[in-house]
A and B are shown apart, each in its own frame.
Chain A
Amino acid sequence: MVALGLGPLAARALGTAGRKVGRRQPLVWTEKLAPSICQLCPSGCGLRVRLVNGNPVSIHGNPLHPVNRGGLCGRGAAGLQLYYDPDRFTGPLRRDDDLIGKFGRTTWPAALGDLSSRVRYAAEAGPGRVAVIRGGGRSLASELLGRLVRAAGSDWVIDVGGGAGAGAADEVLRQMYGTTGRLVFDLANADFLLSIESGLCESPTNTMTFHRGLAALRAAGGRMVHAEPRLGVTGSKADEWLPIRPGTAGVLALGVAHMLIKEGFARSEFLATHVRSFDDWTDESGATQPGIRSWILRTFSPQRVAEVTGVDWERIIRVARAFGSARRPLAVGPVDVATPFQTFDLMAVHTLNAIVGAIDVSGGVLLGRQPPFPALDAPFDPTGGPAGAEVARGRRGPTLDEFCEQVLGGRSPPITVCIVHEADPVFWAPNGHRVAEALRKVPLLVSTSPVATDTTECADLILPDALWIERRSDSVSVDADGYPVVAMSPAAARRRADSRDTADVVLEVARQAGERVARHFPWRSYDEVLRDRIGAIDRSRVGDTFSDEHGSTWAQLLERSGWRSASYGNAEELAKRLDESGGWWEPAYHHGEWRRLSPHGEHRIDLRPVERSSEPDALRRPQPPFGDKLSLYVHPELALGVEMGGSLPYLQDIGSPLTERGWETTVEINAATALRLGISHGDRVTLRNDRGVVTAVARLSQGIRPEVIAIHTGGGRVRAGRFAAGVGANPMVLVATRLEPGTGLSRIEPTFVEVRRV
């Protein structure tokens, strides 16, 4: 704790002595920096909150945290505005349609009693009646919510916070690797990055690992080629931009793969030992089965790929040669931009990485390591105990579309209780109106959001969660090297509202929801669960608490050599060190870990799923727009991609780095197209199709295909407090969706819009 009496004096000496801020400041104030964890995206960056007289006045990065090392993206610091948001919920609310605001105050005991009894009835009535929709990253609160649903005999644990490509990335792991987990891109150690609609810099998820990895790659002289219909922030980092047509990422990847195979750049040793079904193979009956190699050679000639993607075949060949000649090439596909054929796109890019051996090597695609404790929300086995990842392997979790189908289709068993945590699916889902319809139909919809969102508008009960800086918080993530990172921190600031930790809420509800549910929750409080987790970390005898960069390098060297010199000797010391440093990590990655998935360490990647996932439309030239219509390309923006971002006016201010002003949704149009349509820079334009109409401000650009109009997400919230309601437009109203055959995942349809100047 530091006592300073120089503040007003210093301000005067610097000529900043205008009128003082708000209420009178005491002449002597107390200051301290308290650790916390950012929960505005799944990265879980470490924070240090500066408190003056107990009031948080700024948020800084925690220099010990390995994911952000003291840095913060544009969102981290702005998180403070959520703490001071004048429109925050001040306590639990219950829907009362007779009131003007539709919600009336209730008490925590009444609200929790109501929720508990509904969960109890649902659990006793039969399986499949309780659901949870979770956004954000992995934390104890989200795990406990998942566990509550499982304990009530349901599998409706729906995760929506992993970004647009999360479902498809899970399919890559499930179908090609036969496992679950998380893919990580070791950008920092690659020397040639082929980025295809990756959205690395615009990604609202995994921001810190992408940005720091890309910066390290470029600083080390690594080359980069970026393919996307528009030239955005990610494209600005590249040496070359390939303006591909929307929805052709997978075809471009396999076009490059074709050239690599044809010109002998394929790393045959890796393919022979670690990949299944690349070459033609003989099945058990002795029949020859075609491998993926002949399909790529047959289908993806540069001329055909040029016709589909709209990029000259000479450029494709040149890029393929540069990619193949690189020492550590790496390709990243649409991990965070929604595309019409997302699973095919990601599998195609993964196939390209397999062909150059960029899998599970330094500078390649890594399989993120797991922390030394099981997830609390793993499915239970039939005997009632948690079965861990083995049960989850081979089947994916339910999707929002399936949830809507279950509810709106009146299927049995009916979902009677649904809890939405750190998510705003009504705003973010492509088919938001359908999600809203389904949520309204659920007899009890509970939201834990601390601020109003489009989803809380449908809720029956609002149980506001405490913000991360005002409660003990935790997060489980994976850093850019594939290391497991477990961040934990005590509450940094006092509470400004009558809110409760969702983890404690779940434990209380479980306790009251009858023996059937309660037996799965042996803990009395969030602190007890944390103690269990800290005990598991201590018992694992691996890793160490966060330390500065020199300490971390030393810990990495020791871990790699099989040695360890931990800063703690027992669980109590570990708990104390965790509070001081902000978390624990295991700085070791053992290349080849995925190969140990099978008993003899011979696990191979299966490339056949890429051919299975290729729908005929994905391989054809996209339908050209007719008349004055343009092809709509929807992309995220880093600052605007926050679930609760509407309550952060600094983020509305900064919007996109490419526009001069914030507080508006901007569309990018090719300058020549705009001239043809009579549109000038800064004009308001309408985008119209048979699904709806959107108004936005035009930005003329040379960096976009002439037949494309690009629009970002993040605007057009209906209910989101004073800073966001009615600001900008939501392009998702124009986009139709369909269910992808094979995976059942929701995909955006190619969309065309008529553009007119207002």
Chain B
Amino acid sequence: MSDEARGGKSAAPPAAPGAPRAAEEPKASARRHARWGMVIDLGRCTACQGCVTACHQENNVPPSNPELAAERRSIRWIDLMPVMEGEYPHVRLSILPVTCMQCEKPPCIKVCPVGATFLSEEEGIVGQVYSRCIGCRYCTNACPYTVRQFNWFDPNLPATYRDGANPDVSLRYKGVVEKCTFCNHRLQKARDAAAAAGRELLPGEYTPACVEACPTRAMVFGDLADPESEVSNLARSKRAFRLMEDLGTEPKIYYLREGVRE
């Protein structure tokens, strides 16, 4: 396999006509697909919401207003979920950052009538094609984690804000569903930069905005298909769990329990 092919390009280069490619075929087909995933250490998370504003800024998520908020129609790609257990005075509170779980078996894509949402075989990321979405909201109902968001209105941004929008990500308009994409525009850029340098994508070169912003290093991101990666090691920890594992959706977001020793 050529260096270029190993450099993490999205598809193997087309074989030149007549070139002796047969011997290279098995290697190319055995090329490992990434399974991007995240581990969130609840022991380290202090609910500062740095991930939330970093995500919103990176992905041009429009700010809400009192009316939308009152109708629970604010859009949040990542949110903090408080879980309170017990009765006064013996109460325990945990706060979990919740975003799209990037399931291996996502229930949302099965119900989409127009193929607007898909699971990328190569990356394991659940994507959303806004121009295809017809706004039926089947996917928002099918998602057990309720992390898919519907745009009830066009984004009502002051004109001055538009100069500050991230040009890597388009705004979404009324009638489409949106959700966390693991900042895959960052993956695209990192992969292009690695390919231009003639090398593979290195660990740490692709990081979603939420992980980059986390001040306490509670969020770790990486390739779960690489058994040696930090994220894989943490996902095998005894403290690790996933949300609603019994549903069989196989989320790629893992949580590490707080206050439990290895």
Contact = CB atoms under 8 A, between A and B. Distances in A.
B256 to A, nearest CB: 10
Interface residue tally on B, bucketed by range? 35 or more
Contacts of B76: 653
Interface stretch (A208-216, A288-296, A388-396): A208-216
Contact of A661 (B72, B91, B261): B72
A660 B261 CA distance: 31
Interface in B230-262: 258-259, 261
Contact of A57 (B50, B66, B74, B166): B166
A536 interface: no
22 contacts: A4-B189, A6-B188, A15-B130, A18-B170, A21-B60, A52-B166, A71-B217, A74-B50, A74-B52, A77-B56, A81-B164, A219-B41, A221-B261, A236-B82, A236-B94, A652-B63, A654-B53, A662-B64, A663-B64, A663-B65, A664-B66, A703-B91
A329 interface: no
Nearest 10 A-B pairs (CB), nearest first?
A: A71-B215, A22-B162, A74-B49, A215-B216, A649-B63, A15-B129, A236-B93, A21-B165, A86-B158, A663-B69
Interface in B163-184: 163-173, 176, 181, 184
B48 A74 contact: yes
A702 B53 CA distance: 29
Interface in B62-107: 63-66, 69-70, 72, 74, 76, 80, 82, 84, 86-89, 91-95
B34 interface: no
B111 interface: no
A77 B82 contact: no
A527 B166 CA distance: 33
B128 A72 contact: no
B199 interface: no
A20 B95 CA distance: 36
Contacts of B84: 231, 701-703
Contacts of A8: 167
Contacts of A663: 64-66, 69-70
A69 B52 CA distance: 18
Contacts of A233: 46-47, 95
Nearest to A655: B69
A72 to B, nearest CB: 5
B129 to A, nearest CB: 4
A70 interface: yes
Contacts of B89: 241, 243
Contact of B57 (A7, A77, A236): A77
Given A70-B212, A235-B93, A657 B131 contact: no
Interface in B138-172: 158-172
Interface stretch (A58-66, A245-253, A401-409, A457-465): A58-66
A84 B160 contact: yes
Given A11-B169, A16-B130, A16-B170, A653 B216 contact: no
A672 to B, nearest CB: 7
Interface of B: 41, 43-50, 52-54, 56-58, 60, 63-66, 69-70, 72, 74, 76, 80, 82, 84, 86-89, 91-95, 127-132, 158-173, 176, 181, 184-185, 188-189, 192, 209, 212-218, 258-259, 261
Interface in A69-114: 69-78, 80-81, 83-86
Contacts of A701: 84
A727 interface: yes
Interface centre among B64, B162, B261 (most CB of A within 10 A): B64
A77 B158 contact: no
A21 B171 contact: yes
Contacts of B129: 15
Given A201-B48, A657-B49, A14 B164 contact: no
A4 B45 CA distance: 35
A10 B52 CA distance: 24
Given A61-B215, A78-B53, A661-B74, A11 B171 contact: no
Contacts of A36: none
A649 B64 CA distance: 7
Given A6-B189, A20-B170, A658 B82 contact: yes
A660 B169 CA distance: 26
Contacts of A61: 212-213, 215
B102 to A, nearest CB: 15
Contacts of A11: 168-170, 185
Contacts of A59: 57
A68 interface: yes
Nearest to B157: A22
A514 interface: no
Nearest to A26: B167
A243 B86 CA distance: 14
A239 interface: yes
Contacts of B184: 14
Contact of B164 (A29, A80, A651, A662): A80
Between A23, A236, A705, the greatest number of chain B beta carbons within 10 A of the residue's beta carbon is seen for: A236
Given A237-B46, A663-B66, A654 B192 contact: no
A77 B54 contact: yes
Contacts of B87: 702
Name, among A29, A74, A208, the residue most crowded by chain B CB atoms within 10 Å (CB to CB): A74
A553 interface: no
A215 B162 contact: no
Contacts of B215: 61, 68-69, 71-73, 208, 211-212
Nearest to A672: B88
Contacts of B93: 231, 235-236, 241, 703
A540 to B, nearest CB: 29
Interface in A1-50: 4, 6-8, 10-11, 13-23, 25, 29
A83 B165 CA distance: 12
Given A17-B131, A72-B213, A660 B43 contact: no
B188 A84 contact: no
Given A14-B188, A57-B166, A71 B130 contact: no
Nearest to A727: B66
A669 B234 CA distance: 38
Given A15-B127, A218-B43, 7 more contacts: A16-B130, A58-B166, A60-B212, A76-B50, A215-B45, A243-B89, A654-B53
A6 B161 CA distance: 23
Contacts of A68: 215
Contacts of A29: 167
B185 A14 contact: yes
B53 A7 contact: no
Contacts of B216: 71, 211-212, 214-216
A594 interface: no
Contacts of A654: 49, 52-53
A639 interface: yes
A75 B215 CA distance: 12
Contacts of A672: 88
B218 A14 contact: no
Given A649-B64, A661-B69, A664-B66, A219 B162 contact: no
Contacts of B82: 236, 657-658
Contacts of B181: 14, 16
B164 A657 contact: no
Contacts of B162: 21-23
Contact of A73 (B50, B63, B74, B164): B50
B44 A215 contact: yes
A638 interface: yes
A664 B69 contact: yes
Interface string A217-259: 0110100000000010101110101010000000000000000
Interface string A150-171: 0000000000000000000000
Contacts of A18: 130-131, 170-173, 176
Given A653-B74, A654-B53, A57 B158 contact: no
A746 interface: no
A705 to B, nearest CB: 8
Contact of A215 (B58, B74, B188, B217): B217
